[in-house]
Structure 1
């Protein structure tokens, strides 16, 4: 990654310039058997479409705060980078009543109604399936995002010193996030090409770092596992081998 990168969106742009075809996020849900692999280019395309939805249709602007009520999931990772691309602060598990927008998944729809702004619902079903009927008060992400543009340009430059992420009640600026992600990557022994298997939730900085930011900062990739407790021990060993995992954080 480039030493000049100062926001999460910068890290993604550098990854795209370096090797767009390599895997970036490989997601497993061991409760459903789902496996999704996204290359840097595919992940960046999802981020661009989501950022365009956020900035355009949802009228989000730098300084807005978005309550992200989602578990560790590849679509959660997309939203985190989309927020960073627009300059919106992603509040992981934030209070919808204090947020400008809310993005919610199953089990969080009632709580998300406390948000007076725009509300987006994700089914988190395999292949990003649509809801048969969207939850009341929400727009369906799977309906809204496909028509968005494949390239994104923010209306205003993103300030690296503005809050980019809120987790555990603490804000991190974009520059602080990048610095911490680089330090975590070094602590985990990640180098370009490393594949980190991560089984932690996204409700803490440690989970977010292992599950997205540290591998991205290192020029590596993440094998993000949800419901890893449902996998037998021999299954984990086989996954580590089949996915060419070099490092683990479970």
Structure 2
């Protein structure tokens, strides 16, 4: 039996393969639109980087020291597809994914994520031992096949209120409920946990997400163009 995150990715790449599932509005007029197929492609490549290059396995912990951003969502989905636990509060983790890498040596691997959409590599020097996500991820396969079957009964994420959500309850306990087919506006200012919870809820109900950086002015024209009704 597969875990819900794997079933979700299967649905996104098949049932919504060409429709927008995640749209990002960022600083400097940045707009990124990912269809179900492209979203799955990014997640598969990232899962393969974790599994094949970093030897990540189900049950291991992945620290996400990133703001709410489309690449943060990719990393969370990739970890969950592997059966890993995502850590959002800076707690102990086997791996750290961050846009501010250092050389503290606290983790098995530090993955540096350049946030600009067009970044092909990390801008500048990286601390020794850090992995450049932008330059490494493209060499990995577009299809993910797990080496080890993940368990649905281990932790997928601990919410900031301390509640532990297992993989089996990721879409029924952690995901925020939303109406079928919703086109959901998600404010990045509300934080990564809220972005993940709302995105999972929208996708599991056949909907799509618009994730907006705090600096983006959400004009009536923009919202109408993106089919967002109300804020």
* TM-score using structure 1 length: 0.83
**Greater share of helix residues, 1 or 2?**
1
Partner of 1:115: 106
Where do 5+ consecutive residues of structure 1 fail to align? none
Gaps of 5+ in 2: none
Q: After TM superposition, which residue ranges in structure 1, 4 or more long, deviate above 3 angstroms?
A: 200-207
CA change 1:247–1:45 in 2 (3 A) is: farther
Alpha-carbon spacing, 1:18–1:11, altered in 2? closer, same or farther (3 Å):
same
Compute the TM-score of the two structures, normalised by the length of structure 2: 0.90
- Aligned residues of 1:70 and 1:93 also touching (Cα < 8 A): no
For 2:164, the equivalent position in structure 1 comes to: 171
Change (3 A) 1:172 1:247: farther
* Match of residue 196, structure 1, among 184, 191, 195: 184
1:24 pairs with one of 10, 14, 21:
21
Cα distance 1:19–1:113, how it changes in 2: closer, same or farther (>3 A)?
same
Query: Residue in 2 aligned with 1:102?
Result: 96
Say whether 1:245 aligns with 2:204: no
Q: How do 1:30-49 and structure 2 match up within 5 A?
A: 31-49=27-45
Considering only aligned residues, what root-mean-square deviation do their CA atoms show, in Å? 2.1
Question: What is the count of residue pairs matched by the alignment?
Answer: 229
Change (3 A) 1:240 1:63: same
Structure 1 residue 181: deviation in Å?
5.2
1:236 aligned residue (197, 215, 219): 219
2:212 partner SS: strand
Q: Deviation at 1:221? A: 0.5
Residue pair 2:189, 2:214 contacting (<8 A) in 1 also? no
What per-residue deviation string (whole Å, max 9, x for no partner) do you get for residues 62-92 of structure 1?
Answer: 1110111111111111101100111111112
Q: Structure 2: how far apart are the matches of 1:145 and 1:205?
A: 24
